[in-house]
Amino acid sequence: MLPNDEEEQDRLDFLHNALLQVTGRLTHVPHPTDARVLDLGCGTGIWAIDFAEAFPDSFVVGVDLSSIQPAGHPRNCHFYAPFDFEFPWAKLGEESWDVIRLQMCGGSVVNWPSLYRRVSAHLRPDAWFEQVDIDFEPRCEVRALDGSALYNWYHNLRQATSDAARPISHQFHAIIDHLQNAGFTDIKHKHFVLPLNRWHSDLWMRHIGGWYGRAFFDSIEPLSLAPFRRILNWPPDEIQHLVTDAKSELLDPAAHTFHVLHIYIARKPTPTPTSMCASVESDR
């Protein structure tokens, strides 16, 4: 239901670089020097390729529904596509991965508890899972957004994806609960503010707002078309009207609007009598 055309691939690559500007690193999980790394929903493969180049002794596999990854990539990087990670991973090997990673898959997953259990089954003991997602609910420190076009856009997108059983809304507490129920421990959570334009008084945050604001501005329309048309049955002109108004508000530096980037890491424990109690650490 979410877009996957050439323009969207360019946007995903741009967003990857924007998020690197925010976090400053490719991954937040510890990993051995010869790590076996699995990137779920790898998209264009840009993260997998960057990781393989940064850690040439690693073995990186990216999987995705679409075969849109480049033919030219490092020898230690491989792609399997089409591959639906919500179905059994017949060829990936249980307890064989040091890192499994998932980025920007909100709105694409039907059964999160099942996915987390499958991730755990395929990690080696003491290996790590990392999840990176953006909460697209617009927030503002200076005024309420109820009734704004940007809020109405998000509200309808949330409704459409929920009706399609692939909710895009970010559920912090549910993620923690699902990870714990899947047996993970040492669960850590970080969040970062993503300004939607250059409104911030801090120079670095203005820089981030320029990068991320551009990425999101270009994503509003493609994110809207299929959910609003197929699920909500909106006519094209009504979709375009809301998209145009939301984009206009997005550019308003007086609005001080932002999204939140969430990063979760969780360890699969070595089976012991004491490893059943998960710990959670969050910067919230």
Question: pLDDT digit of tens for each residue in the chain (284 aa)?
Answer: 556 667 777 888 888 888 898 999 999 998 888 999 999 999 999 999 999 999 999 999 999 999 989 989 999 999 999 999 999 998 899 999 999 999 999 999 999 999 999 999 999 999 999 999 999 999 998 788 888 999 999 999 999 999 999 999 999 999 999 999 999 999 999 999 999 999 999 999 999 999 899 999 999 999 999 999 999 999 999 999 999 999 999 989 888 999 999 999 999 999 876 555 566 777 77
Which letter does DSSP use for residue 269 in this model? P
Q: What are the domain boundaries of the chain?
A: 6-282
Q: Return d(Cα 214, Cα 176) in angstroms, integer.
A: 31
Q: How far is CA 56 from CA 61, 62, 76, 95, in A?
A: 13, 15, 7, 22
Omega before residue 167 within 30° of 0, cis: no
- Closest residue by Cα to residue 32 from 114, 98, 86: 98
Residue with tokens 């591959």: 83
The answer to whether the Cα torsion of 98, 104, 112, 40 is positive or negative is negative
Count of CA atoms in the C-beta half-sphere (13 A) of 168? 21
Q: pTM higher than 0.85 for the full model? A: yes
157 exposed, middle or buried (CB, 10 Å; 0-12, 13-18, 19+)? Answer: buried
Count of CA atoms in the C-beta half-sphere (13 A) of 167? 12
CATH superfamily of 6-282: Vaccinia Virus protein VP39 (3.40.50.150)
213 exposed, middle or buried (CB, 10 Å; 0-12, 13-18, 19+)? Answer: buried
Q: How many residues does the chain have?
A: 284
The amino acid that residue 260 corresponds to is: V
Buried b (16+ CB within 10 A) or exposed e, 30-63: ebeeebbbbbbbbbbbbbbbbbbeebeebbbbbb
